[in-house]
């Protein structure tokens, strides 16, 4: 099993460009696994973790409801936003500047073969990261992601998640609102959930801006600890 993970920070990149890049890494791993089984080889599969920030974009998961996007094509253009129907789980979400997006492209057979556990580990990495900022975040039963104020009238989501997996290879991931313009969430019913709000780290801390590089460093630390992985540069 290969527990090394190659971390790459892509900076600010167009959503479709990064989606295509994810697909290429995903295919690379799948091709190795298929060849190993056909030819009875034991070639090691790589693991990747991408950090990225996207320009304004709305993405709808494969089982999502298009009516949860509250803008027409002209309004999208006016707001400088794009839209994609994509191949992850979950409903609609927003990505944009000030958000830390993480895409782990892992062969889970290098770690464990349990998608439920994988999602819980993604949530736990974010929960532990935000705890370092003094925030008590938690899960909301039946709703993937990371929340504050669960069980109160002030429940609010700070991190959305949606993944795809095939032959135990993952792609897509999480989007943590760090310094996000939360006004863009007003144009959707986030994740198809109507009765809960959305928040960001800077809002919860009452500051103008949080250091996003510091946030990524903390996520990286907790992610590698949970997966008992090693970082490969």
Q: Is 102 annotated as a binding residue?
A: no
Domain of 91: which CATH number? Answer: 3.30.930.10
Distance, CA of 224 to CA of 110 (rounded, Å)? 13
Q: Is 174 annotated as a binding residue?
A: yes
Number of domains in the chain: 1
pLDDT tens digit sequence for 22-41: 999 999 999 999 999 898 88
Task: Check: CB of residue 199 under 8 Å from CB of residue 178.
Answer: no
Sign of CA dihedral 125, 192, 53, 133: negative
Token pair 């949530």 in the structure block, residue = 123
pLDDT, position 64: 79
3-state secondary structure of 59: strand
Q: Is 193 annotated as a binding residue?
A: no
Nearest residue to 106 via CA among 220, 2, 219, 233: 2
Is-catalytic flag, 191? yes
Distance, CA of 146 to CA of 130 (rounded, Å)? 10
Q: Is 56 annotated as a binding residue?
A: no
Range of the domain at 216: 4-232
Between CA 219 and CA 109, with CA 85 as vertex, the angle to 5 degrees is 45
Q: Is 161 annotated as a binding residue?
A: yes
Q: Is 131 annotated as a binding residue?
A: no
Distance, CA of 149 to CA of 99 (rounded, Å)? 21
Q: Is 171 annotated as a binding residue?
A: no
3-state secondary structure of 191: helix
Task: Check: CB of residue 145 under 8 Å from CB of residue 173.
Answer: no
Q: Phi and psi dihedrals of 25, rounded to 5?
A: -70, -40
**Average pLDDT value for the chain:** 92
Task: Give me the residues of the chain with pLDDT under 50, please.
Answer: none
Nearest residue to 62 via CA among 94, 22, 91, 105: 91
Q: Which of 57, 191, 219, 229 is catalytic?
A: 191
User: pTM higher than 0.85 for the full model?
Assistant: yes
Q: Is 90 annotated as a binding residue?
A: yes
């Amino acid at each position: 099993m290969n527990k090394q993970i190659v971390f790459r920070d892509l900076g600010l990149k167009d959503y479709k460009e990064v989606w295509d890049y994810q697909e290429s890494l995903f295919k690379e791993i799948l091709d190795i696994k298929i060849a190993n089984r056909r030819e009875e080889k034991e070639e090691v599969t790589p693991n990747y973790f991408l950090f990225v920030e996207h320009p304004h974009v709305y993405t709808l998961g494969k089982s999502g409801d298009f009516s949860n996007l509250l803008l027409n094509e002209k309004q999208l253009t006016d707001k400088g936003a794009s839209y994609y129907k994509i191949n992850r789980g979950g409903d609609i979400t927003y990505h944009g500047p000030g958000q830390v997006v993480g895409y782990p492209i892992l062969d889970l057979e290098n770690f464990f073969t349990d998608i439920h556990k994988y999602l819980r580990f993604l949530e736990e990495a974010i929960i532990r990261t935000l705890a370092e900022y003094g925030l008590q975040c938690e899960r909301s039963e039946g709703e993937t992601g990371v929340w504050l104020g669960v069980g109160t009238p002030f429940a609010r989501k700070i991190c959305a998640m949606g993944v795809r997996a095939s032959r135990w290879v993952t792609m897509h991931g999480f989007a943590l609102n760090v310094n996000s313009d939360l006004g863009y969430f007003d144009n959707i019913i986030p994740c198809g959930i109507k009765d809960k709000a959305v928040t960001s780290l800077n809002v919860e801390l009452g500051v103008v801006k949080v250091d996003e590089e510091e946030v990524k460093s903390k996520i990286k630390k907790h992610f590698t600890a949970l997966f008992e992985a090693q970082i490969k540069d």
